[in-house]
Amino acid sequence: MELKRVVVTGIGAITPIGNTAPEYWESLLNGVSGCTHITHFDASNFKTKIACEVKGFDEKDYFERKEARKFDRYAKLGMVAASEAVKDSGIDAAETDHDRVGVIWAAGIGGLDTFQKEISDFATGNGTPRFNPFFIPKMIADIAAGQISIKFGFRGPNFATVSACASSANALSDAYNYIRLGKANAFVVGGSEAAVTPVGVGGFNAMHAISTRNDDPKTASRPFDVDRDGFVIGEGGAGLIFEELEHALARGAKIYGEVAGAGLSGDAYHMTAPHPEGYGAYLCMKAAVEDSGLKLEDIDHINTHGTSTPVGDIVEPLAITKLFGEHAYKININSTKSMTGHLLGGAGAVEAIAALLAVKHDMVPPTINQFNLDPKIDSKLNFTFGNKAVKRTVNAALSNTFGFGGHNASIIFKKFGQ
């Protein structure tokens, strides 16, 4: 069958460096770090006292008090980002057949804060099982997708993808495939996370996965630097409107770019560590390029997973050079996690917007906080180090997201019409 073409007609984001998509993009271009000392709870007894929190978010600006009580923070952030994307696209007003618009919204964990509070209240009580009636629906990872669907009346395919830090990249891949197979006209697709909580920070501390650079938060996220000491946990989310091309053209929608291809793979190696030779990363990037019909030489930019972890930051460049060969040295590579931190299940969508806008504006955001490149990493690669964006033609960009369990996802955006 002839596959339909898919374009992006709306974006929305709420991040540690901007509470709308335009604010987020502007901060990326200017190399702004979103890492500060934790304010959500008293972290004085924790090894890690820093995080990339969303700033200036007042839920009363978006939700009635009774409504807000029904949602965990991850769902609130997701609904705000999704609403911005829907408004930006105009799909709600223009689409008469809401049966053909779906929602796929990801979370790697879901309502972690809700879960902690409910269990803590029970454990410190008198043993009487008194739980909030909203406990379960607030906690489950699919509720944001359901609530977005309810808010807009979109009755197409509706579900959540859960694959740790690859969750929202998997959501993007699913939405892309549903549309090009003719199963829907459009999707609200993305993901959100809100794991800057005592159990979130404590759990990652126990794994020695997150940075403890408490005395210098702004430079704590150091992808590819020899002195990196783990990722910086972040929160927030992003949404995109994926739409079938002819449907978008018929309603006169603006088009940010075209979804060119997607690739998925599994490491089949370890619970938390990536394959030591980056084989899973290689496979999903290779699959995405093959799916797109582009040549390896057509990829101008890669937004890496680049978390600032000891092993991950070594194997991803290995995979890039293995796949792209000499062309790898002509690609502007970056890690926007150096600014946003790691948004876990929301990372794929947040970084997809960065890659998409790089294509649209021919600007590659920098990788900040680079002081000394790890000597185990190929120094000929262009990691776009610095504090300012680089102007260059970006006809096609690839975004990588990898998750615990060996889940790997890559998605490619290209300029519309090329």
Query: Up-side HSE of residue 328: CA atoms within 13 Å toward CB?
Result: 18
Whether the full predicted model's pTM is greater than 0.85, yes or no, is yes
Confirm whether 255 is domain-assigned: no
The domain tally of the chain equals: 2
User: What does the alpha-carbon distance between residue 404 and residue 164 come to, in Å, rounded to a whole number?
Assistant: 6
At 171, which CATH number?
3.40.47.10
Q: Provide block-wise average pLDDT over 10 residues at a time, the chain (418 residues).
A: 95 98 98 98 98 96 94 98 97 82 97 95 86 95 97 97 98 98 97 98 97 98 98 98 97 97 97 94 98 98 97 97 98 98 98 98 98 97 96 98 97 91
**Do residues 272 and 213 both lie within one domain?**
no
Domain that holds residue 323: 263-414
Q: What pLDDT sits at residue 125?
A: 84
Q: Which of 227, 250, 273 is the last residue of a domain?
A: 250
Burial grade of 417 (CB within 10 A; 0-12, 13-18, 19 or more): exposed
**Do residues 138 and 278 both lie within one domain?**
no
Q: Which of 250, 271, 300 is the last residue of a domain?
A: 250
User: What does the alpha-carbon distance between residue 256 and residue 397 come to, in Å, rounded to a whole number?
Assistant: 13
Confirm whether 226 is domain-assigned: yes
Confirm whether 73 is domain-assigned: yes
- Assign 123 to helix, strand or coil: helix
**Do residues 285 and 147 both lie within one domain?**
no
Q: Which of 228, 250, 272 is the last residue of a domain?
A: 250
Sign for the pseudo-dihedral over CA of 88, 246, 144, 107: negative
Which one from 247, 275, 301, 305 is the annotated catalytic residue? 305
Neighbour tally for 126: CB within 10 Å: 6
Q: Which of 238, 246, 259, 144 is nearest to 185 (CA)?
A: 246
Q: Determine whether 165 is an active site residue.
A: yes
Q: What pLDDT sits at residue 417?
A: 83
Q: What is the DSSP letter of 268?
A: -
Give the chain's length: 418
Which one from 247, 275, 301, 342 is the annotated catalytic residue? 342
Confirm whether 109 is domain-assigned: yes
Which one from 35, 165, 301, 407 is the annotated catalytic residue? 165
Q: What pLDDT sits at residue 253?
A: 95
In single-letter form, the type of residue at position 127 comes to: G
DSSP 272-295: SSPPTT-HHHHHHHHHHHHHHT--
User: What does the alpha-carbon distance between residue 197 and residue 194 come to, in Å, rounded to a whole number?
Assistant: 8
